Chain A
Amino acid sequence: MNTASLIVFDGLLLISIVSLAWAALATTDARRSVILFMAFGLLLAVAWARLLAPDVALAEAAIGAGLSGALLLAATNDHSRQPATAQTETTRTEPDRRVGMAIQWTVTLLCAALAVALAWALAYAFDSTAKDTLARAVSAHLDVSGVSNPVTAVLLNFRAYDTLLELAVLLTAVLGIFALGPARADYQEAGPIFDGLTHWLVPVLILMAGYLLWVGAHAPGGAFQAGATLAAAGIVLRLAGRHHFGLPAGSTLRITLAVGVGMFLLVGLALLAVGRPFLGYPTAWAGILILLIESAAMLAIAATLVSAFVGGRPNPIAINTGEKP
């Protein structure tokens, strides 16, 4: 492909991304804003692919556009069902409006400061001569990481601490969601056509999650993309009105949610016990240990994302009390 057409494509992509972002922020209709945000996420995924970052593109498409979009749509549905909240919007008093304006301006200023800081960091990154030191260090040590995909090597080996803490953040988030109360009521049961779709789509999604997990060792993929795909299967089942959407019940669910952090810690502590540094895998064992941690992380991520979509504790007793009023 010649460069001129690529420049035209990139230019169109940039203009579309910025206009979609603007449109999503400018519209007053929450549902429209969410749909524009999903389109924005998809184009952003294309932009990541154009930057030769397929791992980020996959994560952006699956989590940024797909799952966040589904979460936000569910939230707008909840919001539109509560007339009380809508009323407070319209009958705002003068001081309220002034506070709103102050918040708006503060956020705008903070965003502008962030943009300046990012621009400075980018300029600094492009200027510094040793800009690819990290990339070179990763590729120099790739053969001892146990995997051949550099992104997985960084996430699960060289910077495994970061990923462990990310999983801990997810676990904390799902604890917060459970603290919000019981889950939303089930959706109405799907008609024959949507039901027929779920019958083959869900197994394909589960298979695809396994494929993404496995392929992550040597190509774009990994626990986060696989977890998001597995969560998509659960969300499709939930939307189809099934009461059980792949989430286990009771203590099995709690174990599944914690298994990502748990397996990480278990591997790290076991390595400490045999006299290696925390999460410093021996080269011969690195591949299998990474696969073990990633499999556990995939299950935990999928369970966390589905729990977030359900919006509360999927406890059968809690659901009954929620439906009473």
Chain B
Amino acid sequence: MTDILSSLLIVAGLFFFLAGSIGLLRFPDLYSRLHALTKADNLGLGLLIAGLAIHAQDLFTALKLLLIWLAVLAASATSAHLIARHARRQETGP
């Protein structure tokens, strides 16, 4: 039962990674590419970690996995913001 649940979560997470990667390669401009990329980071990694946390040996390991997700969430949101702001300033002038 837990195997099926964790496999479903991981496959769902991989779907978001695939969709994000395709978006990164195919979308026309920087802003929509960033939009695609952050979906993979946030939702894809979140589902992946939820799937892995089910398999964790103890609560401590599961919490460490959760911490990884939170750190990536904050880092990817911040870096996406910084890249987008830089690009916007290049367009409009400082």
Contact = CB atoms under 8 A, between A and B. Distances in A.
Interface of A: 191, 193-194, 197, 200-201, 204
Interface string B69-81: 0010011011001
B74 A194 contact: no
B71 A193 contact: no
Contacts of A191: 85
A257 to B, nearest CB: 29
Interface string B57-91: 00000000000000100110110011001000000
Contacts of A197: 74-75, 78
A279 B80 CA distance: 49
A201 B82 contact: no
Given A193-B78, A194-B78, 14 more contacts: A191-B85, A193-B77, A193-B81, A193-B82, A194-B81, A194-B82, A197-B74, A197-B75, A197-B78, A200-B74, A201-B71, A201-B74, A201-B75, A204-B71
Nearest to A195: B78
Nearest to A204: B71
Nearest to A194: B78
* Main SS at interface, chain A: helix
A193 B81 CA distance: 8
Interface size on B, as a range, is under 10
Nearest to A197: B78
B88 to A, nearest CB: 12
Interface of B: 71, 74-75, 77-78, 81-82, 85
A194 B81 CA distance: 9
Contacts of B82: 193-194
A62 to B, nearest CB: 14
Nearest to A200: B74
Of B75, B78, B81, B85, most A-chain CB atoms within 10 Å: B78
A151 B71 CA distance: 28
Contacts of A201: 71, 74-75
Nearest to B81: A193
Contacts of B71: 201, 204
A132 to B, nearest CB: 28
12 contacts: A193-B77, A193-B78, A193-B81, A193-B82, A194-B81, A194-B82, A197-B74, A197-B75, A197-B78, A200-B74, A201-B71, A204-B71
A194 B77 CA distance: 10
Nearest to A191: B85
Contacts of A204: 71
A299 B79 CA distance: 28
A191 B75 CA distance: 15
Contacts of B78: 193-194, 197
Of B71, B77, B85, most A-chain CB atoms within 10 Å: B71
B51 to A, nearest CB: 15
A75 to B, nearest CB: 20
Nearest to B80: A193
A191 B79 CA distance: 12
B71 to A, nearest CB: 7
Contacts of A200: 74
A34 B85 CA distance: 22
A142 B81 CA distance: 49
